[in-house]
Amino acid sequence: MTLTPLRLRKAVLPVAGLGTRVLPGTKTTPKELLNVVDRPILSYIVEEAREAGIEHIVFVTGRSKGAIEDYFDHQVELEAQLEAKGKTELLDQLLAELPQAGEMSFTRQMQPKGLGHAVWCARDIIGREPFAVMLPDVIVDGRPGALKQLVQAYEETGGNVIGVEAVPDSETHKYGIVDPISRNGRRVSMKGMVEKPAQGTSPSNLSISGRYILQPEIFDLLATQERGAGNEIQLTDAMARLMGEQAFTAIEYEGVTHDCGDKIGLLRANVALALKRPDLGAAAREAIAALL
């Protein structure tokens, strides 16, 4: 008898990072609120979460990230002005992004101890149920979105599911990398994973790209997880331990991944997503062509 996996309802978005790779733009603006075309990176991530059926988002924030909480609340004066000026389309767009009361929680990672520690900070709010982790640096342009593709696999496999993407061999040292055994279409079974392998030692070129579905037992392992790569508590290290006890599947999802935490990645996301927009694509193409 196969048990239906518990439904995925909650997602953790770790947004405490300082965004040093895109300074000075992130000196006073959280990097997650930098614009891609005309809306913040975070707006794309929240949209992807909702499409995948996520009902509650837990933001793990840090000092000077208060603007994120404000972004997902009413901006009363602005809304009144848009209403008075008859700009209803814009107003509707703003209102559509707002959560219903109680659908978002905010907790703080008070010290920068790494991604594993950030996820652990959400343990009480998540409780004992499966949850997603979505790295907000990463916009995935996919149909359906990357998390939904992971959910579709999870509904069949249960356990833990992570999104992976092939990267050039010269880049593997920047990521968590999986050690694959075999592949069935886009599903990859694994025997291990390693965070930021030294150049020349990577077990493959499949990087863990920032979308995860995890079982709550990961919290128990994170509680005792020792520091790893970069002297930080790494989620990858705790997942590698959990792999000894529970099923893990990697999904090479369909879509284009944009690392918006990086100057060129952010620029590329802006160009790529502007070109695809029905209302802006033609004008963007013309403007870019004129520059080249």
Shorter beta-carbon distance to ligand G1P: residue 91 or 256: 256
- The minimum distance between CB 93 and ligand G1P, in angstroms, equals 29
- Write the CA distances from 227 to 42, 224, 243, integer angstroms: 28, 10, 18
- The minimum distance between CB 69 and ligand G1P, in angstroms, equals 22
Q: Quote the CA–CA distance of 47 and 66 in Å, as a whole number.
A: 20
- The minimum distance between CB 86 and ligand G1P, in angstroms, equals 42
- The minimum distance between CB 167 and ligand G1P, in angstroms, equals 9
Shorter beta-carbon distance to ligand G1P: residue 205 or 236: 236
Please compute Rg for the chain using Cα positions: 19
Shorter beta-carbon distance to ligand G1P: residue 68 or 135: 135
Shorter beta-carbon distance to ligand G1P: residue 104 or 177: 177
Shorter beta-carbon distance to ligand G1P: residue 219 or 284: 219
Shorter beta-carbon distance to ligand G1P: residue 82 or 211: 211
- The minimum distance between CB 82 and ligand G1P, in angstroms, equals 36
* Residue 55 token pair: 């009902």
- The minimum distance between CB 117 and ligand G1P, in angstroms, equals 11
Q: Which residue is nearest to ligand G1P (CB)?
A: 176
- Binding positions for ligand G1P, rule: CB under 6 A: 115, 135, 137-138, 175-176, 195, 207-210, 234-236
The owner of tokens 């965070």 is 195
Q: Quote the CA–CA distance of 86 and 135 in Å, as a whole number.
A: 37
